[in-house]
């Protein structure tokens, strides 16, 4: 950390800052700039809070030199992290595509979808058994029955299963059935849940919160990684801004080159939530691949008009097959595979 003192800071104010730093195990080094004393911290002291140091009398500004996220950082692991979900490599040259309905609704629905998306080229199956809903009066998911249907669909197609877990009390149960534990946007800073999925040692799909910064997202990943669970996919799904008249969210396309530079973890795009309108999912999916996404998660349903949730943004199964063709062309155009 570097601490810049006000030009009018008193010697005792400067001494207090030095004392605070040294009492936390840091060595200090003084220099100057434009009439301000500059205090550089060196060595391996206790972490100090930037904002807190910045409020000490006589301090003008503080600057952290090191990034707050460590295990998630590119500096920690310069090579891209690649891991397998069953036999599907994630984070490598191949663009993965996770597809399926928002909610598991019935045996027929999930099996029909699984076969169709497999046929079209999807590499994993998604489906919600526990659904976080804004309204307590909305459908909350089939629960364990839904998990069993997902497992049956995996048996039938070989596709690994991605499904959301909402509570630390359910992690053990969901981990029995799922190949990838999904953390939803609303739970991105549910730290007990992050710790629980970290401990579960299962692959995790971590969705960005709707007003989470990229740094917040990487700090959330840090909660999982510090348990030795490095199988984490980051997922951009759109953020909340001032304009939501024509789209549900603002899809942050900048997140792809930025996250790929900041971190070694695979980055997945969720264009279904990112724009929220079925007929526009395809261009956003393609632009994600063009921007550097390592994979896509796409909502698809045999009959979106009858879906219990997220119907308006779900593709029909033929639309999904069409999209897969375009994704292959796009992957080639940017030197990837699919």
The interface with a second copy within residues 177-206 (CB under 8 A) comprises: 186-187, 189-193
Q: What's the closest the beta carbon of residue 218 comes to a second copy, in angstroms?
A: 10
The one among 84, 155, 254, 318 contacting a second copy by CB under 8 A: 254
Q: Min. distance of Cβ 294 from a second copy in angstroms?
A: 13
Q: Which two tokens stand for residue 66?
A: 């090191």
Residue closer to a second copy by CB (options 53, 124) is: 53
Map the footprint of a second copy across residues 285-314, applying CB under 8 A: 286-292, 305, 307, 309, 311-312
Long-range contacts of residues 22-25, Cβ cutoff 8 Å, at least 24 apart: 24/48
Binding mask 85-104 for a second copy (x = CB under 8 A): --------------------
Q: Which of 275, 297, 298, 315 binds a second copy (CB under 8 A)?
A: 275
CA distance 296 to 81: 17
Angle at 275 between CA 271 and CA 280, to 5 degrees: 85
DSSP string over 66-130: S-S--TTBTTT--SPP-EEETTEEESSSBPEEEEE-SB---HHHHHHHHHHHHHHT-SEEE-BSS
Nearer to a second copy, 42 or 201 (CB): 42
Q: Pick one of 18, 199, 258, 321: the residue that binds a second copy (CB under 8 A).
A: 258
* Shorter beta-carbon distance to a second copy: residue 118 or 294: 294
Among candidates 236, 311, 24, which has minimal Cα distance to 39? 24
Q: How far is the CB of 295 from a second copy (least distance, A)?
A: 15
Residues that bind a second copy (rule: CB under 8 A) add up to a total of: 108
Contacts of 19 (CB under 8 A, 6+ apart): none
Query: 22 or 152, CB closer to a second copy?
Result: 22
Pick out residues in 110-169 that bind a second copy (CB under 8 A): 132-138, 166-169
Identify whether the C-beta of residue 258 lies closer than 8 Å to the C-beta of residue 271: no
CB of 310 to a second copy, least distance (A): 8
Side-chain-side CA neighbours of residue 249 (13 Å): 23
- Judged by CB under 8 A, does residue 84 bind a second copy? no
Which of 65, 62, 63, 56 is CA-nearest to residue 14?
A: 56
Question: Length of the chain in residues, anyone?
Answer: 338
Determine, following the binding rule CB under 8 A, whether residue 172 of this chain makes contact with a second copy: no
């Amino acid at each position: 950390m570097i601490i810049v003192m006000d030009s009018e800071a008193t010697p005792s104010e400067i001494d207090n800052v030095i004392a605070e730093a040294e009492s936390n195990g840091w060595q200090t080094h003084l220099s100057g700039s434009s009439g301000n004393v500059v205090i550089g911290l060196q060595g391996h002291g206790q972490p100090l809070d930037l904002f807190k140091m910045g409020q000490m009398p006589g301090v003008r500004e503080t600057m952290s030199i090191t990034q707050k996220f460590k295990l998630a950082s590119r500096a920690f692991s310069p090579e891209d992290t690649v891991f397998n979900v069953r036999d599907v490599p994630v984070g490598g040259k191949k663009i993965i595509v996770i597809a399926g309905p928002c909610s598991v609704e019935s045996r027929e629905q999930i099996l029909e979808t699984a076969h169709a998306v497999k046929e079209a080229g999807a590499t994993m199956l998604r489906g919600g058994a526990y659904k976080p809903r804004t309204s307590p009066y909305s459908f909350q998911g089939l629960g364990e029955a839904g998990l069993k249907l997902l497992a049956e669909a995996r048996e039938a197609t070989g596709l690994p299963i991605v499904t959301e877990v909402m509570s630390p009390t359910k992690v053990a149960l969901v981990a029995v059935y799922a190949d990838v534990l999904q953390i939803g946007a609303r739970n991105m800073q549910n730290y007990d849940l992050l710790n629980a999925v970290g401990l579960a040692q299962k692959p995790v799909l971590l969705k960005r919160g709707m007003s989470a910064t990229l740094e917040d997202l990487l700090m959330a990943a840090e909660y999982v990684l510090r348990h030795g669970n490095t199988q984490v996919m980051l997922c951009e799904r759109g953020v909340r801004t001032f304009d939501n008249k024509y789209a549900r969210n603002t899809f942050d396309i900048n997140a792809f080159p930025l996250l790929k530079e900041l971190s070694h973890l695979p980055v997945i795009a969720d264009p279904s939530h990112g724009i929220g309108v079925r007929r526009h999912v395809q261009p956003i999916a393609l632009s994600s691949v063009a921007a550097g996404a390592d994979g896509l998660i796409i909502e698809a349903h045999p009959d979106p008009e009858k879906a219990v949730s997220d119907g308006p943004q779900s593709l029909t199964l033929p639309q999904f097959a069409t999209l897969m063709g375009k994704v292959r062309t796009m992957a080639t155009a940017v030197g990837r595979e699919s």
